[in-house]
Amino acid sequence: MPKKQPISKQTPSITEEQLAMLRELMPQVFSEGKVDFDKLRAALGDFGDERPERYSFSWAGKRDAIRILQTPSRATLVPARKESVDFDKTQNLFIEGDNLEALKLLYKPYFGQVKMIYIDPPYNTGNDFVYPDNFADPLDTYLKLTGQKDSEGNLLTSNAETGGRYHSAWLSMMYPRLFLARQLLDEDGLIFISIDDKELHNLRLLMNEIFGEENFIANITWEKRYTRNNDAKLMASVIDYVMVYRKSEALIKIREARNEKSDSIYSNPDNDPRGVWTSVSYVSQRTKSQRPNLSYKIKNPFTGKFTEHPTSAWKYSKEQNELHAKENRLFWGADGSYQFPRLKRFLSELEDGLVLVNLWNYKETGTVDDGTKEVDALLGKDVFDYPKPASLLKRMMKIIQDEDAIVLDFFSGSATTAQAVLELNREDGGNRKFILVQLPEPTGNKEFPTIAEIGKERIRRVIKKMKKEREGQLKLDKPEDLGFKVFKLRESNYKQWDGNLTGLTEKKSDKKSSTEDLSGLYAKQMEMLADPLVKGWKEEDVIYEVALKEGYGLNITVEDLTGLTEKPSNRKGSGADLSGLYHVTDPDKEQGFYISLADKVKLKDVKPLELKKDGLFICRDIALDDETAANLSLQCRLKTI
């Protein structure tokens, strides 16, 4: 007989999911439900490394970093409608909170959906923020940091070089975040990471471990400024780096979009019917002795004389040369005065896009001064130090060449990524979406007290500016998405089981009394958890948490089926007999579910839904009697809170 199932109350366990994949791939290496490493080594055969010494990358605290990665999140994301723009229509997201917890919450609904990740993490200069210092419970630390719990002491570390674990602290902060980020990338997705030379070498080793060194693409040198800083003690830095990795070998080729500058070298001086062209050298870098088969005489059609290079071979065989001559692909100069021919390259015959180079100069990519001017123009002077320019992010997005891409930035800072997405969409008619995550790190600025506030206000002002620019113009065939939803990291709407029974100490003189106390405390907790929702819960908050932890995205649509006039965000659950019934749909997944948060669910109330076997219905466990539960579980997939 079908049974009701509990909903997911926390994020998936990364370890359990990886074990499940291994079990599906290699069931023979499991014994009594656990991995038998001897069997695993035997199954791998020659691929296993049993040498006593082998190459590895480690640091102090790596085990703790792995442990915190494997710990499911007990947090949730709650909507902040008043801080959003066009909440119900937009697909852009801004998440205020610790990015490790946020990534864990995004893991299930956005697994493999992100086409591009860009991050500009702390450069570990010794004074910048590294991570909340309670590594055992990042959510608890975050709640204290943001004033949602009482706190003691300074919760932010500065990671001074004298601390003894200078590089290790930075690596421990980055490891779990990058690991989760990889899971969110599409198989042909790319990640770009801005970094300076302080942690460049460590980041490369860390990325090799998480992404695989075969997926390294480039370490781009970006000319971030073109003037020297005369205050520098030893040497002024005018470059930063952008490290680029792909998710997997599914991405086999990338190109940069052609532009006016790259096409300006093409012309058609001889009116060739194949269109504009440029010419390239016909002379090889190899010598005649190295390539004797490519050494031969070529006839100049203008003079009738034969010529060959005195030391070098040609790039092409004699047969190819004859074909080039026949097809009028050799250029000897307008009057035939060139000593050696050049080969015509027609623009119409080139593949789309340009081969990328790993040097990005300031003229083509912008500078930190440009980024500062962008923020100053929107928010005023001295609001944010050294922001990246939108042009840098646009260049990366153009490499992706996906106008519907989801772009993730989980160290979003001043929200340059959001501005770049919105502006590039307007420039090329794209429909890219952004997901930004930012910790509300204090700034000391009364107008913008946290970095998260800077980012949100910047996006609002960019949207306002872009809307004003379109005033009086004809409506677009495809409406622009000029909005963003704000979500904030909070404790779960589900009560947490206190397995430690805090405050109970065994009395040696009266063990019976102690056992009775223990039994009473367990009974009290069981009674408390009869309704697992916390006091003062809001329907909208619960709906988003249920959706998120069941694997639905944050762009769900929520249809109120009760006919009540109050919005779900305004109705609080406090034991009243609410009849709230909703249909929740994830348009990206084309899936959905029904949810009732009423104190009582009656069959007659859900009958109009015409529930089907593969349909999902979710309600509170206390709302069902045995008969209703039995009937519903026969009609559909029934899950309870």
Angle at CA of residue 477, ends 471 and 478, nearest 5° = 90
The CA distance from 178 to 211, in Å, is: 9
Is the C-alpha dihedral spanning 51, 61, 496, 132 positive or negative?
Answer: negative
The CA distance from 540 to 568, in Å, is: 5
Give the distance, in angstroms, between the CA of residue 552 and the centroid of all CA atoms in the same chain.
16
pLDDT of the residue at 104: 96
Residues 6+ away with beta carbon under 8 Å from 215: 245, 246, 247, 248, 249
pLDDT of the residue at 267: 92
* Domain spanning 70-258+354-491: CATH superfamily: Vaccinia Virus protein VP39 (3.40.50.150)
Residues 6+ away with beta carbon under 8 Å from 165: 60, 61
Output Rg (C-alpha) for the chain, integer angstroms: 31
Residues 6+ away with beta carbon under 8 Å from 443: 449, 450, 451, 453, 454
Structure tokens at 474: 């004809």
**To 10 degrees, what angle do helices 99-107 and 138-145 make?**
130
Specify whether the CB–CB gap between 617 and 583 falls below 8 A.
Answer: no
pLDDT of the residue at 153: 46
Residues lower than pLDDT 70 in the chain: 1-2, 46-54, 124-138, 145-165, 497-529, 563-579
N-term to C-term CA, the chain:
20
Secondary structure of 220-260 in the HEC alphabet? EEEECCCCCCCCCCCCCCCEEEEEEEECCCCCCCCCECCCH
pLDDT of the residue at 505: 41
pTM check: above 0.85: no
pLDDT of the residue at 523: 58
The CA distance from 222 to 363, in Å, is: 11
pLDDT of the residue at 246: 97
Q: Where in the chain is the domain with CATH 3.40.50.150?
A: 70-258+354-491
pLDDT of the residue at 158: 59
